[in-house]
Amino acid sequence: MKSTETIVWQDWDLSQIINGEEIMSPSPKTPHQKSSRKLQRILEDHADDHDLGEVWDAPMDVIFEENYNRLQPDLIFISKAKEGIVQDWIRGVPDMVVEIVSKSTVKMDTVIKKEIYERYGVQEYWLLKPEKRVLEIYSLTDGRYELHALFGENDVVNSPLFHDLAFKLNIIF
């Protein structure tokens, strides 16, 4: 018989199911967390100010298919139009996800997860690379991701999804 503490812990972990395979990840390091926290604050303020929807942070499961693709993006945006997918976890396709890339997650974030988000129809995919101080924003067009823009640390970020959003990238590093 498992203790209550074990059951509670199992409800909150850093595992994902990616293309049917369970993947465990260590917790992120401080540069990742700092960038995530600052970007989340910017996105939340923008979403709140314009009454657009909600921003969620990891660990939060996004369930595309229960036992096949259950991912934990670093940041997730759900528009008011899709708020019904927010249940015990997010069960459906978010409007936008952010993955913060580290040396150990380059292939996972830039190839594998990108393909999954594209396949399920996530409208916008942000790849933040703190070590390189760049942000790539991809927008879904005809079912395929196209690079909207590559932003360097001194560039002002804009997004097709968040029309009035503008911030200098270096403030999140």
Measured in degrees and rounded to the nearest 5, phi and psi for residue 142 equal 50, 40
Does 83 score more than 90 pLDDT? yes
| Architecture label for domain 4-172 | Alpha-Beta Complex (3.90)
pLDDT of residue 20: 84
pLDDT of residue 67: 78
Is 135:157 a contact under the CB 8 Å cutoff?
Answer: yes
The mean pLDDT value for 90-112 works out to 95
| pLDDT per residue as tens digits for the range 41-78 | 999 999 999 999 999 999 999 999 887 899 999 999 99
pLDDT of residue 14: 65
Mean pLDDT of the chain: 91
How many whole angstroms separate alpha carbon 87 and alpha carbon 166? Answer: 30
Planar angle of CA 155, 140, 42, nearest 5 degrees = 40
Strands 96-100 and 124-129: parallel
- Domains of the chain, by residue range, sit at 4-172
SS (H, E, C) 113-137: HHHHHHHHCCCEEEEEECCCCEEEE
| pLDDT per residue as tens digits for the range 21-41 | 888 877 888 899 999 999 999
pLDDT of residue 17: 85
What is the distance between the terminal CA atoms of the chain, rounded to a whole angstrom? Answer: 46
Does 12 score more than 50 pLDDT? no
